[in-house]
Chains A and B, each alone.
Chain A
Amino acid sequence: MLLNYDVVIIGGGPAGMAAAIAAHDSGAKTLILERDVRLGGILNQCIHQGFGLHYFGEEMTGTEYAERFRREVHKRDIDVMLEAMVLSLGEARIVTALSPERGLVKVKAGAVVLAMGCRERTAGAIALPGTRPAGIYTAGMAQKMCNIDGYLVGREVVILGSGDIGLIMARRMTTEGAKVKLVLELMPYSSGLKRNIVQCLDDYGIPIKYSHTITRVVGNPRITGIYYAPVGEDRRPILSEEKFVSCDALLLSVGLIPENDLLGGLGVEMSSVTNGACVDENRMTSLKGVFSCGNVLHVHDLVDNVSREAEIAGRAAASYAKGDLKSGEGVCVCAKDGVRYALPQRLTKGEGKVKIFFRVDGVYKGAKLVAECEGRQIFAKKFAVLAPGEMGDIEIDKAGVDGDIVVRLQR
């Protein structure tokens, strides 16, 4: 069975829903393929506050944020296939998916929007030394088990890494009666939002040790503790200062990786910094008609930004499917001097304002961020503080762009 849609959205989390709504509202016949049993993605397990301030102008939980978008999807009667796992994205944008309800489904898409989100780095990915017992969880898995399934993974907890989910889970485990004994962060700064350090650790008296890491896990078949040590300049642990702390659960919040496995073999230009595709301002990848948005493109801190980005991708995908997406001469956007990446990586010359998102590679106080085009400064702004855990954005006017753009810090 070959179905036909103008726009097929892979993934029904916040990015997929916002992209679908935007595509539909631009007149495209739209389909969402979602592998879980409901729309919403990871938001469904985010029962904490902190969502929607920017997008809706009010603070809500992740589940509420998801529900707003779910309603909008259903109001428009946008087609959704649940429990539909996409097996491949083939030549000529034929998407193959498998679901218990529909079996094997092939869909011919006028345009495809990738919105698969990201996955968490695991103990294996960081080659965590020691035993490999029960009791080690990624923070997101522990969050799902706690908030959706109703199980608490431990009562004496250590958290490695200070990504936002880890910080949120430190608070969540505490409110469920667990003792979060320690948070360890390899870097001298957190990779999470400042507000989460304050609200999830400081407010509960949970200690965080920066520039520290785990040297070995002990216990078998269940974890009984970990050894940890400070790290030197080279981020190697100083074993002479190794200490032990007992625990029955270890949560990992050591990074998120865009889940781009579907793109394997398609020859899409990828960024080795974001681990997502390289895109233009329409969020179109190097593969014509294939768009990318949300955490599968680059990991965001705030879902509000995901929704906005996805709307760009959804609208552009609809235009592409109709054949009226303008293309033109492009320029590159590069990052250097303290800026880890800038996105989009390509811009089309023309009119109008465009937002460029960026992340820095360390904590900078009072640094000036500049964008230069052919050696000319086209944007400059001084920031009180810039940190890797907080994505920033600048807006530039395309009218002044006649060559490649460099985004960098000026100190």
Chain B
Amino acid sequence: MDRYDVIVIGGGIVGTAVLDRLARYELRALLVEKCDDVASFTTRANSGIVHAGYDCEPGTLKAKFNVLGNPLVWKEAEELDVPHLKCGSIVAAGEDGVSGLEELEKKAKANGVEVRLLSREETLGIEPNVADRISCSLYAPTAGVVSPYQMAIAYADRAILNGAKILLEAPVTAIKRSEGKYTICTPKGDFETSVVINCAGAHGAEINDLAGAEHFETTYRRGDYFVLDNTERKNVNTVIFPLPTAAGKGILVAPTADGNVIYGPTAVDTDDCEDTASTLDSLDALKKSVPLTYKRPAFNKCIRVYSGLRTLIEHDFVIGRSKIKDNFIMTIGICSPGLTSAPAIADEILSLTLESINAEKKKDYIINMPRHLRLKELSDEEIERLARSDSRWGRIVCRCEKVTEAEIIAAINSPLPATTVDAVKRRVRAGMGRCQGGFCGPRVIEILSRELNIPISEVKKGLGASIAPFRVKEVD
């Protein structure tokens, strides 16, 4: 049985950020993930907002980690070369919302977050397309957007380069404890460890139960989104929120770090931890809500709808050591602002881990990741030089997003290799454009088949489903 000092369960934004921290120490660290890639569930389907932290209830863990996490996300997105945009946010309100904005301003002060109350004119200076009914707003300059899945993937890549391990398609089936050690059982083998860190997201409470740690009741809240064509990007400068309600931060209009625009999320309570099916009702609700803050909704420029799940445990994050099980550390119930909080949570988890195990910091570990070369960002001279030295730089596979064969091959050969069409898509955006992979899908399948040396019919979209399952002229 392989032995580790620490095993992280779950490869979302929190799990990967934690692994990234652990990898900086002389620790044998393993992350186990049930899906075929990291960032496969909540991390891949959320708003991608880097929250300023003005709306969290002062004194909560959410407030603490949001405020600590915000500057870390900006710094680490640079280190990791992950698309990000510190575009600020506004909470836009009509005449009836002035007191609501003042409440938020008070919370912002208590949390130590910079905000400014703006008049309609000042708001228009920042965001010309707010709805006509908007009379004022609360501006938070430190907010913005980041690509959540690329952030998690980049943490995973950096952790691996620094010596940590990631095991995919390894759902935890049992957690045993004997002689001061844990055994983590998965279909890919059993692993011994001193410390367990539960970062299992939507399945966090189940993992606690498997380990015999504290039991939590979990509820889920689904949110549907529209993704708009990148031609809409010119109309949106900042993250536009309505006033928050008990159900959450409300339906926002925001640029994405990759140059699209999103409208969403709705907030639909569900008890199914796998429920990410959008519904007609929910999409209709978006159509009604978006115009309340934004005057140029363009639902006809939609290129995709998606849906994500927030996992709620009581009213705050659950972060800390189990009081029942030694060396079992929990970071669960991480709903919004989880993405922003992740690096700060990871720092906290690292300190808790180091209380359990003495470990030296590695002498030389990698902080600044090598730049990803993206055709879209290169000058003509750079494109010319690359295409001359490697013809794959001259072959555009994804026409909408201008992704070359070279970029796709780099993703397949990255520290945490992309092995599915969706994994390629999350890393380099092939298939993320307006044709949604209609043209490049079959080409990406071909490249994966060739590079991984597997038959076309074995190339998966993700989560085990093939895109080209049968041959023509095939007889049963």
Which A residues are closer than 8 A to B by beta carbons? 35, 83, 85, 87, 96, 98-104, 119-120, 122-125, 127-135, 138, 140-141, 144-146, 149-155, 176-177, 215-218, 220-222, 237, 239, 248, 261, 264
- Cross-chain contact B283 with A127 (CB below 8 angstroms): yes
The distance from the CB of B260 to the nearest CB of chain A, in whole angstroms, is 11
Of residues 426 through 476 on chain B, the ones whose CB sits less than 8 Å from some CB of chain A are 434-439, 441-442, 446, 456-457, 460-475
User: Are B387 and A119 in touch, CB under 8 angstroms?
Assistant: no
Is B304 positioned at the interface, with any CB of A under 8 Å from its CB? yes
Q: Please judge, given known A-B contacts A220-B463, A264-B231, whether A152 and B438 are in contact too, CB under 8 Å.
A: no
Which A residues lie within 8 Å of B231 (CB)?
Answer: 264
Q: Are B456 and A149 in contact (CB under 8 A)?
A: yes
Q: B296 CB to closest chain A CB, in angstroms?
A: 16
Contact B380 A104 (CB under 8 A): yes
Q: Which residue of B lies closest to A123 (CB)?
A: B436
- Pair B394/A133 contact, Cβ less than 8 Å: no
CA separation between A104 and B469, bound complex, in Å?
37
**Distance in Å from the Cβ of A107 to the closest Cβ of chain B?**
14
- The reply to whether A133 and B305 form a contact with Cβ atoms under 8 Å apart is no
Note all chain B residues with C-beta closer than 8 A to A151: 456-457, 468-472
A134 touches B395 (CB 8 A): no
The 17 sampled A-B contact pairs (Cβ below 8 Å) are: A99-B394, A101-B394, A102-B394, A103-B388, A104-B387, A104-B394, A124-B304, A129-B305, A130-B277, A130-B279, A134-B465, A138-B438, A140-B438, A152-B471, A155-B470, A177-B474, A221-B461
Q: With the chains together, A127 CA to B456 CA distance in Å?
A: 29
Does B14 reach chain A (CB closer than 8 Å)?
Answer: no
Q: Which residues of B are found within 8 Å of A222, using beta-carbon distances?
A: 465
Q: Please state if A216 and B395 are interface contacts (CB–CB under 8 Å).
A: no
Residues of B near A261 (CB, < 8 A) are: 400, 434
Residues on A with beta carbons closer than 8 Å to the beta carbon of B299: 127
Which residues, 395 to 426 on B, are CB-close (under 8 Å) to A? 395-396, 399-400, 402, 405
Contact of B274 among A120, A138, A154, A220 (CB under 8 A): A220
B227 within 8 A of A: yes
Contact of B465 among A124, A129, A221 (CB under 8 A): A221
Within 8 Å of chain A (Cβ to Cβ): is B278? yes
Q: Which residue of A lies closest to B282 (CB)?
A: A129
> Would you call B391 and A101 a contact (CB within 8 A)?
yes
The interface residues of chain A lying within 8 Å CB-to-CB of B280 are 129, 215-216, 237, 239
**B392 proximal to A (CB < 8 A):** yes
Q: Mark B239-261, 1 if CB is under 8 A from A, else 0.
A: 00000000000000000000000
Distance to closest chain A CB from B288 (angstroms): 14
Q: A99-B394, A140-B438 are in contact. Are A146 and B472 (CB under 8 A)?
A: yes
- Interface presence of B383 (CB below 8 A): yes
In the complex, what distance in Å separates the CA atom of A152 from the CA atom of B436? 20
Give the distance to chain B from A85, nearest Cβ to Cβ, in Å.
4
- Looking at chain B's contact residues, the main secondary structure is mixed
Tell me which residues across on chain A come within 8 A of B439, comparing CB atoms: 119, 141
Q: Whole-angstrom distance between the alpha carbons of A125 and B473 in the complex?
A: 33
Interface residue count on the B side (C-beta < 8 Å): 59
User: A104 to B438, Cβ gap below 8 A?
Assistant: no
B313 part of interface (Cβ distance < 8 Å):
no
> Are B279's CB and A129's CB within 8 A?
yes
- Whole-angstrom CA separation of A123 from B395 in the bound complex: 27
The reply to whether B395 and A100 contact each other, CB–CB distance below 8 Å, is: yes
Q: By CB atoms of chain B within 10 A, which of A120, A176, A261 has the most? A: A261
Cα A144 to Cα B440 with chains together (Å):
11
Give the chain B neighbours of A264 by CB distance below 8 A: 231
Residues of B contacting A153 in the complex (Cβ-Cβ under 8 angstroms): 467-470
Write out the residue numbers on chain A whose beta carbons fall within 8 Å of the beta carbon of B466.
134
B61 near A: Cβ within 8 Å?
Answer: no
Contact A129 B278, beta carbon cutoff 8 Å: yes
> Which one, A102, A125, A218, A239, contacts B277 given CB within 8 A?
A218
Report yes or no: B438 in contact with A120, Cβ–Cβ below 8 A: yes
Contact A83–B395 (Cβ < 8 Å): yes
The complex places the Cα of A91 from the Cα of B339 at a distance, in Å, of: 43
- Asked if B464 and A221 make an inter-chain contact with CB atoms under 8 angstroms apart, the answer reads yes
Is B276 among interface residues, defined by CB-CB distance under 8 A? Answer: yes
Which residue of B is nearest A87, CB measured?
B402
Other than A104-B387, A129-B277, give 18 A-B pairs with Cβ distance below 8 A: A96-B380, A98-B383, A98-B396, A100-B405, A104-B384, A119-B435, A122-B303, A122-B436, A125-B434, A127-B299, A130-B277, A134-B462, A151-B468, A153-B470, A218-B277, A221-B465, A239-B280, A264-B231
Beta-carbon contact of B467 and A134 below 8 Å: yes
B305 touches A127 (CB 8 A): yes
Kindly report which residue of chain A lies nearest to residue B382, judged by CB atoms. Answer: A104
Chain B nearest CB from A84 CB (Å) reads: 9
- Evaluate contact between A145 and B461: CB separation under 8 angstroms: no
B25 at the interface (CB under 8 A from A): no
Determine whether B302 belongs to the interface, using a CB cutoff of 8 Å to chain A: yes
Q: In the bound complex, how far is the Cα of B460 from the Cα of A135, in angstroms?
A: 11
Name the A residues within 8 Å of B472 (CB-CB).
146, 150-152, 176
CB-CB under 8 A from A155, the residues of chain B are 470
Q: In the complex, what residues of B have CB within 8 A of residue A239's CB?
A: 280
9 closest A-B pairs by CB? A124-B304, A134-B465, A151-B468, A221-B463, A100-B391, A100-B394, A221-B465, A103-B387, A134-B461
Residue of B nearest to A155 (CB): B470
A214 nearest CB neighbor, chain B only: B280
Nearest neighbor of B300 in chain A, beta-carbon distance: A125
* Contact partners of A129 in chain B: CB under 8 A: 277-280, 283, 305
CA distance A237 to B226 in the complex (A): 20
Cβ–Cβ < 8 Å partners of B4 in chain A: none
Which residues of chain B are within 8 angstroms of A98 by Cβ–Cβ distance?
Answer: 383, 387, 394, 396
- Decide: A124 and B391 in contact? CB cutoff 8 A: no
- In the complex, residue of chain A having the shortest beta-carbon distance to the beta carbon of B394: A100
Complex interface: chain B residues within 8 A of A220 (CB)? 274, 276-277, 463
Residues of the A chain whose Cβ atoms lie less than 8 Å from the Cβ of B306: 132
Residues from chain A with a CB closer than 8 A to the CB of B402 are 85, 87
Q: How far is the CA of A218 from the CA of B279 in the complex (A)?
A: 11
Q: Contacts of B393 on A, CB cut-off 8 Å?
A: 100
Name the B residues within 8 Å of A103 (CB-CB). 383-384, 387-388, 394
Shortest CB–CB separation between residue A3 and chain B, in angstroms?
A: 14
Asked if residues A100 and B462 are in contact (CB atoms below 8 Å), the reply is no
Within 8 A of A (CB), among B127-171: none
Task: Give Cα A261 to B231, complex, Å.
Answer: 9
- Smallest distance from the beta carbon of B314 to chain A beta carbons, Å? 28
Output the residue of A123, A124, A150 with the most chain B CB within 10 A.
A124
Within 8 A of A (CB), among B265-282: 274, 276-280
**A122 CB contacts on chain B under 8 angstroms:** 303-304, 434-436, 438
Q: Which of B383, B405, B434, B446 contacts A104 (CB 8 A)?
A: B383
Contact A120 B468 (CB under 8 A): no
Distance (whole angstroms) from the CB of A406 to the closest CB of chain B: 27
Q: Look across to chain A and name the residue whose beta carbon is closest to the beta carbon of B475.
A: A177
Complexed CA–CA distance, A120 and B471 (Å): 24
> Which residue in chain A gives the minimum CB-CB distance to B279?
A129
Bound state CA distance, A144 and B305, in angstroms?
A: 25
B307, B387, B392, B456 interface centre (most CB from chain A within 10 Å): B387
Give the contacting residue for B438; candidates A119, A128, A131, A135; CB below 8 A: A119
Contacting residues, chain A, for B460 (C-beta < 8 A): 134
Per-residue CB contact flags for chain B residues 305-321 toward chain A (1 = under 8 Å, else 0) read: 11100000000000000
A residues near B465, Cβ cutoff 8 Å: 133-135, 221-222
Structural contact, B394 and A216, CB atoms closer than 8 A: no
User: In the complex, what residue of chain A is closest to B460 when comparing beta carbons?
Assistant: A134
Q: How far is the CA of A120 from the CA of B439 in the complex (A)?
A: 9
By a CB distance below 8 angstroms, the chain A residues around B305 are: 124, 127-129, 132
In Å, the complex CA distance between A122 and B438 comes to 8
A370–B465 Cα gap in the complex (Å)? 54
| A101 CA / B393 CA spacing, docked (Å) | 10
In whole angstroms, what is the CA distance A31 to B277 when docked? 48
